[in-house]
C-alpha cells in the first residue's frame, strides 16, 4: 500500500491532484503473484457434428430450390417457344338448296265448322247422332218434345177457323145491307121514303163492307200465327245443315235446352275432314315476308317424324294481341286423305319465305370461324358489311383466308354469290389441339 501511495503522490499535480499528462500515467500492479484465468473447456465431437449437419441441410435445400426454379424456367421457355399442332374441323363446300323460313305455332282445324243449335226451347226427346257420326244434309240428329208447340198449332188453327166463320157471317150481312141500300135508293127516287132513310141504309152498307175487310185481316193474322206455330213444331227437329262429320255433341237425352237470349249449341259438325287448315300465329316481325301462295310444312306431336306439306291460302288482316304481343293469323291449307290430322292438334309450322335451288353454299359455322390468334382482335365481325364475309379454306394443311360474298342465309347454310370457292373445298369450321388436353400444362414441383 505504501508503494501504490508513492506512485499516486508522484503522479498528482501540485494544484488539484489531477495527473499532469494522461500519457505519463502508468498503472503498476501490486507485488505478488498474478491471478491465472481458467482455460475454456475443450469441444467434444458431439457438439461439432450437429452444426456441420445443419449447414449441409441448408445448402442442400438452397440447391434443390435453385434446380426447381431452373427447371420451371426451362419449361416455361419451352412452352412459350414450342408450336402445338392443331387439328382443324372442316366441312365441304357443296351445291344445293338454301331456304329461308318463318317458324310459328298454330292449331289444326277443319276448313268449315258448323255449330248446330236450336231455335226453340224444350226437352230433348230423342238423339240420333253421336260423336264421329257421318251425316247428310237434312238428316235428323235430335228431336225436341213437340207437344207444347203442337198445342199452340191447334189453338191457332181453331182461331183461324173462327175468323173464317166470322168473315162468312159478315159477308152475308154485307150482301143484305147492299140490297137494303139499293131498295131504299129506288124508293127515294119515287119519293116514297125520306132522305134520312136512304142515308141510314147507306151507312149500314158501308159498315158491313168495313166489317168484311176487318174479318179478312183477322183471317190473315190467324193464318200467320198458325204458320209460326207450325214452324216452331218443325224447329223441334234438329237436322244437319251440311254433309259432314259430328265432331262434338253437347246435349244428352232428357236434357232441357233454353233458347232465350243465346242459341245453345247442340252439335259441332265439320264439313269435310279430308281438307284441313292450320291457323298459325305469326309475329308482327315476320308477317311482312309471308304472302298467299307460299309453300309451308308443319309437324304435329302425334306424328313427330312425319312432315305435312301445305300452302298459305290467306293472311288475315285482323291483329291478335295477347299480353302486348301482336300476332296475325296465317291460314295454311293441307290435304288430309288418310284422316290422321285431328281438329285441335298443335302444329309447328315453317313457311318458306325464300328459296334458291342448286347454289354454291357453305355452312354458317365456317362464316363464324376465326383462327385462334385472331379471336381476340378488334376487327369487324364476319358478314357485317353488305354480305361481305370471309372463310378459311384448308389448303396444304394450312388455313387460308378467302373473302366471299354471301347471298341468302337460312341459319344453316349460306349462299356464296362471289369468291374463290368451288365445290369440294374444305372450309374450316373449328379447331382443337391435336395432343391430349394436358399436353400444354406445366409440371408442378413439390418440395
Picking from 291, 325, 355, the residue at the C-terminal end of a domain is 355
Strand 265-270 and strand 237-239: pairing? Answer: unpaired
How many CB atoms are closer than 10 A to CB 428? 20
pLDDT of residue 65: 83
Each residue's pLDDT tens digit, 303-330: 999 999 999 999 999 999 999 999 999 9
Instruction: Kindly state the greatest CA–CA separation across the chain.
Output: 221
Is residue 32 over pLDDT 80?
A: no
Say if 444 falls within a structural domain: no
* pLDDT score for 115: 94
Per-residue pLDDT averaged across 183-199, rounded?
91
- Match 183477322 to its residue by C-alpha cell: 218
- Check which CATH number belongs to the domain holding 391 and give it: 2.40.420.20
Q: What is the pLDDT of residues 65-116, one digit of tens each?
A: 888 888 888 777 766 555 557 788 899 999 999 999 999 999 999 999 999 9
Whether residues 423 and 319 fall in one domain: no
pLDDT at 196 over 80: yes
* String of DSSP letters for 329-393: EEEEEEE-TT----TT-EEEEEEEEEEEEEEEEEEHHHHH---GGGTT--SPPTT-BTTEEEEEE
Say if pTM beats, i.e. exceeds, 0.75: no
CB 87, CB 431: distance < 8 Å? yes
* Stronger pLDDT, 370 or 219, i.e. the higher one: 219
Residue-level pLDDT at 385? 47
Looking at the fold, whether 192 and 91 belong to one and the same domain comes out as no
The H-or-E segment that residue 424 falls in is: none
Cα–Cα distance for residue pair 177/154, rounded to 1 Å: 35
pLDDT at 383 over 70: no
| pLDDT for the residue 432 | 78
The residue range of the domain holding 58 is: 43-82
Same domain, 219 and 318: no
Distances (CA, A) of 232 to 173, 218, 266: 37, 21, 17
Residue 446 confidence (pLDDT): 41
Looking up cell 434446380 gives 67
Mark whether 160 and 119 lie in a shared domain: yes
Q: Please report how many Cα atoms fall inside a 13 Å half-sphere around the Cα of residue 71, on the Cβ side.
A: 11
3-state SS, residue 183:
helix
Does the residue 205 lie in any domain? yes
For 141-165, what is the mean pLDDT? 96
Instruction: State the Cα torsion 253-257-263-264 to the nearest 10°.
Output: -50
- For range 385-410, the mean pLDDT: 85
Same domain, 143 and 228: yes
Residues 117 and 229 in one domain: yes
- Measured between alpha carbons, how far is 338 from 284 in angstroms, rounded to an integer? 34
Residue where the block lists cell 435453385: 66
Residues 310 and 193 in one domain: no
Looking at residue 166, its pLDDT comes to 95
* Assigned domain for 18 exists: no
Residues in the chain: 447
Q: Give the mean pLDDT of the chain.
A: 83
Give me the number of domains the chain comprises: 4
Specify the pLDDT at position 70. 84
Same domain, 340 and 368: no
Instruction: Give the pLDDT of residue 34.
Output: 55
Q: Which residues pair with 197 in a beta bridge?
A: none
| CATH number, domain with residue 304 | 2.40.30.170
3-state secondary structure of 22: helix
Mark whether 367 and 312 lie in a shared domain.
no
337 and 393 inside one domain: no
One domain for residues 350 and 362: no
Residue 20's pLDDT is what? 44
Nearest Cα neighbor of 399 from 391, 408, 407 is 391
Q: What is the CATH number of the domain that holds 138?
A: 1.10.287
Q: How far is the C-alpha of 412 from the C-alpha of 365, rounded, in Å?
A: 8
Establish if 327 belongs to a structural domain: yes
Phi, psi of 69, deg, nearest 5: -65, -40
Are 120 and 233 found together in one domain?
yes
Domain boundary among 214, 249, 284: 249
pLDDT of residue 373: 53
Tell me the average pLDDT across 420-446: 68
Cα radius of gyration (the chain):
60
Rounded Cα distance between 255 and 308, Å, is: 41
Q: What is the spatial distance between Cα 42 and Cα 184, in angstroms, rounded to a whole number?
A: 190
Residue 175, domain member (yes or no): yes
Higher pLDDT, 357 or 24: 357
Q: Rounded to whole angstroms, how far apart are CA atoms 11 and 25?
A: 7
- Residue 24 confidence (pLDDT) above 60: no
Of 324, 355, 386, the residue that ends a domain is 355
Identify whether 258 is part of a domain: no
pLDDT of residue 64: 83
Whether 20 is covered by a domain: the verdict is no
Q: Residue ranges of the alpha helices (H) in 139-289?
A: 147-190, 195-235
Reported as a pLDDT band with limits 50, 70 and 90, residue 48 is low
Chain segment 242-264, per-residue pLDDT in tens = 999 999 999 999 999 998 778 88
Flag whether 78 is in a domain: yes
Looking at the chain, the whole-number percentage of residues with pLDDT higher than 70 is 79
Amino acid at each position: 500500500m505504501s508503494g501504490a501511495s508513492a506512485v499516486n503522490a508522484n503522479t498528482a499535480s501540485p494544484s488539484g491532484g489531477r495527473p499532469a499528462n494522461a500519457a505519463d500515467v502508468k498503472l503498476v500492479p501490486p507485488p505478488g503473484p498474478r491471478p491465472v484465468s481458467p482455460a475454456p473447456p475443450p469441444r467434444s465431437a458431439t457438439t461439432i457434428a450437429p452444426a456441420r449437419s445443419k449447414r449441409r441441410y441448408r445448402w442442400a435445400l438452397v440447391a434443390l430450390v435453385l434446380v426447381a426454379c431452373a427447371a420451371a424456367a426451362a419449361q416455361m421457355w419451352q412452352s412459350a417457344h414450342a408450336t402445338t399442332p392443331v387439328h382443324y374441323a372442316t366441312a365441304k363446300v357443296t351445291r344445293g338448296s338454301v331456304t329461308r323460313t318463318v317458324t310459328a305455332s298454330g292449331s289444326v282445324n277443319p276448313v268449315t265448322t258448323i255449330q248446330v243449335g236450336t231455335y226453340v226451347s224444350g226437352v230433348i226427346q230423342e238423339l240420333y247422332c253421336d260423336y264421329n257420326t257421318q251425316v247428310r244434309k237434312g238428316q235428323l240428329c235430335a228431336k225436341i218434345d213437340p207437344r207444347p208447340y203442337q198445342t199452340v198449332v191447334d189453338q191457332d188453327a181453331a182461331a183461324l177457323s173462327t175468323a173464317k166463320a166470322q168473315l162468312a157471317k159478315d159477308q152475308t150481312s154485307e150482301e143484305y145491307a147492299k140490297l137494303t141500300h139499293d131498295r131504299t135508293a129506288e124508293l127515294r127516287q119515287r119519293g116514297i121514303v125520306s132522305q134520312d132513310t136512304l142515308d141510314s141504309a147507306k151507312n149500314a152498307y158501308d159498315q158491313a163492307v168495313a166489317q168484311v175487310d176487318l174479318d179478312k185481316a183477322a183471317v190473315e193474322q190467324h193464318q200467320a200465327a198458325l204458320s209460326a206455330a207450325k214452324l216452331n213444331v218443325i224447329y223441334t227437329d234438329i237436322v244437319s245443315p251440311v254433309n259432314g262429320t259430328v265432331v262434338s255433341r253437347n246435349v244428352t237425352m232428357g236434357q232441357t235446352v233454353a233458347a232465350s237470349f243465346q242459341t245453345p249449341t247442340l252439335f259441332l259438325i265439320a264439313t269435310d275432314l279430308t281438307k284441313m287448315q292450320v291457323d298459325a300465329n305469326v309475329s308482327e316481325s315476320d308477317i311482312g315476308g309471308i304472302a298467299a301462295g307460299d309453300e309451308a310444312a308443319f309437324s304435329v306431336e302425334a306424328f313427330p317424324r312425319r312432315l305435312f306439306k301445305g300452302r298459305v291460302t290467306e293472311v288475315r288482316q285482323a291483329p291478335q294481341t295477347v299480353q302486348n304481343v301482336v300476332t296475325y293469323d296465317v291460314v295454311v291449307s293441307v290435304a288430309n286423305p288418310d284422316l290422321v290430322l285431328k281438329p285441335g292438334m298443335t302444329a309447328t309450322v315453317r313457311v318458306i319465305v325464300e328459296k334458291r335451288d342448286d347454289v354454291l353454299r357453305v355452312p354458317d359455322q365456317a362464316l363464324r370461324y376465326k383462327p385462334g390468334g385472331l379471336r381476340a382482335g378488334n376487327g369487324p365481325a364476319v358478314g357485317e358489311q353488305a354480305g361481305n364475309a370471309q372463310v378459311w379454306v384448308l389448303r396444304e394443311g394450312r388455313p387460308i383466308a378467302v373473302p366471299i360474298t354471301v347471298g341468302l342465309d337460312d341459319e344453316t347454310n349460306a349462299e356464296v354469290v362471289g369468291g374463290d370457292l368451288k365445290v369440294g373445298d374444305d372450309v374450316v369450321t373449328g379447331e382443337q389441339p391435336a395432343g391430349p388436353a394436358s399436353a400444354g400444362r406445366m409440371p408442378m414441383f413439390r418440395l
